[in-house]
């Protein structure tokens, strides 16, 4: 009875999800999947997953299969997956299977927008569907009290960013949201050196999750740059997050997990396609396209590699999902 009039009663009364309780009391348009709600209310591990990678990062139906398999992998670790997206102007924290299909299927849904912090309120008011980038996924994960978020590639400083000022909102969001983001580094379509410099300026901890400090470059295991820190097990990774937040630091952290070694060889070939895509984007003045720049480059790399980049892309995100799930399990033990 009470549950019917107050669908998120458990969350509204939950102390450690206080931002979410406040938003729900204000009747903000948020739907938390019952399984995620239950996990949050009882302190079970949850892993946030982004959805721009589904709507703009890879073609259908691979996008849907990837999203489903990533959820399965998170589950296999004992964590609950919470794919975050905007549907009909409502923020979804955790998607039902049919909702995931609706979001991914570009034949029926060609209008899903790419949703960054600046777009959220307008997209809700105009009742849009949207894939959340790392930046808006961080916001909603933080709102819900989800501490770990797994994805493929974080945005960053674009090549030539010193002139275009094209710096992904993802970087700043990591200073605002207390969430551990697990990714395969940043794609080499970006200026990785400047991205790391910028994250240093912002004070975001960067930790390679590997045998070495090498910072991975998405399709390849090494970018030639080093992370300041390295761990190689979920427990220590979780301890870093726990200590960070015990000290009251309110920002997030980045765990960079290299792509599995068997994809390393194809990675060098893919790198050539990346360079070509970047050259073409310069010739065609793609940098004027604003938020379309990243999807354009991702699509072009896909075309140039005859889809080979796609297999690597899926493999690396499945890998970060596994690590993210494991870290979330360990973090939940510490946070009890």
Considering beta carbons, is residue 155 or 258 the nearer one to Mn ion? 155
Per CB under 6 A, the list member of 86, 298, 314, 328 interacting with ligand PSU is 298
Q: Distance between alpha carbon 303 and the CA centroid of its chain, in Å?
A: 23
Residue 157's nearest CA partner among 193, 133, 117 is: 193
Query: Catalytic one among 92, 114, 147, 187?
Result: 187
* Contact between 291 and ligand PSU per CB under 6 A: yes
C-alpha to C-alpha distance for 154 and 135, rounded to whole angstroms: 9
E strand spans, the chain: 30-32, 46-49, 80-87, 90-93, 113-115, 130-132, 148-150, 180-183, 206-209, 229-231, 253-256
| Tokens linked to 325 | 């799930």
Contact 135, 173 (CB under 8 A): yes
CB of 33 to Mn ion, least distance (A): 30
- Helical segments of 46-184, H only: 52, 62-76, 97-104, 120-125, 134-144, 161-164, 169-176
- Per CB under 6 A, the segment of 12-20, 117-125, 165-173, 254-262 that binds ligand PSU is 165-173
- Per CB under 6 A, the segment of 78-86, 91-99, 163-171, 275-283 that binds ligand PSU is 163-171
Residue whose Cβ sits closest to ligand PSU: 57
Considering beta carbons, is residue 242 or 308 the nearer one to ligand PSU? 308
* Contact between 86 and ligand PSU per CB under 6 A: no
Catalytic status, residue 292: no
Residue 59's nearest CA partner among 329, 306, 274 is: 306
Q: Distance between alpha carbon 229 and the CA centroid of its chain, in Å?
A: 21
Catalytic status, residue 187: yes
The footprint of ligand PSU on residues 43-82 (CB under 6 A) is 50, 52-53, 57
CB of 148 to ligand PSU, least distance (A): 16
State the binding string over 190-229 for ligand PSU (x if CB under 6 A, else -): ----------------------------------------
| Catalytic sites, residue numbers | 50, 187
């Amino acid at each position: 009875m009470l549950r019917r009039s107050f669908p998120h009663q458990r969350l509204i009364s939950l102390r450690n999800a206080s931002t979410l309780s406040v938003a729900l009391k204000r009747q903000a348009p948020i739907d938390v999947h019952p399984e995620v709600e239950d996990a949050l209310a009882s302190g079970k591990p949850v892993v946030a997953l982004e959805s721009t990678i589904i709507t703009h990062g890879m073609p259908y139906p691979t996008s849907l299969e990837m999203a489903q398999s990533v959820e399965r992998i998170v589950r296999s670790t004992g964590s609950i997956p919470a794919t975050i997206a905007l549907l009909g102007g409502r923020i979804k924290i955790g998607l039902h299977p049919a909702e995931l299909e609706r979001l991914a299927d570009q034949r029926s849904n060609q209008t899903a927008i790419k949703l960054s912090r600046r777009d959220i309120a307008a997209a809700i008011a105009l009742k849009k569907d949207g894939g959340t980038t790392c930046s808006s996924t961080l916001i909603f994960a933080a709102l819900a009290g989800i501490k770990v978020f797994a994805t493929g590639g974080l945005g960053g400083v674009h090549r030539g960013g010193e002139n275009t000022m094209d710096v992904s909102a993802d970087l700043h969001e990591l200073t605002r949201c207390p969430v551990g983001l697990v990714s395969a580094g940043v794609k080499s379509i970006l200026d990785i050196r400047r991205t790391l410099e910028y994250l240093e300026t912002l004070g975001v901890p960067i930790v390679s999750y590997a045998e070495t400090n090498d910072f991975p470059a998405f399709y390849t295991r090494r970018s030639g740059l080093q992370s300041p820190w390295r761990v190689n097990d979920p427990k220590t990774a979780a301890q870093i997050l726990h200590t960070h937040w015990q000290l009251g630091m309110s920002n997030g952290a980045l765990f960079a997990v290299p792509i599995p070694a068997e994809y390393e060889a194809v990675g060098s070939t893919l790198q050539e396609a990346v360079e070509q895509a970047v050259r073409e984007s310069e010739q065609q003045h793609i940098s004027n396209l604003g938020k379309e720049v990243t999807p354009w480059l991702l699509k072009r790399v896909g075309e140039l590699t005859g889809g080979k980049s796609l297999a690597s892309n899926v493999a690396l995100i499945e890998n970060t999902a596994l690590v993210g799930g494991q870290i979330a399990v360990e973090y939940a033990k510490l946070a009890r």
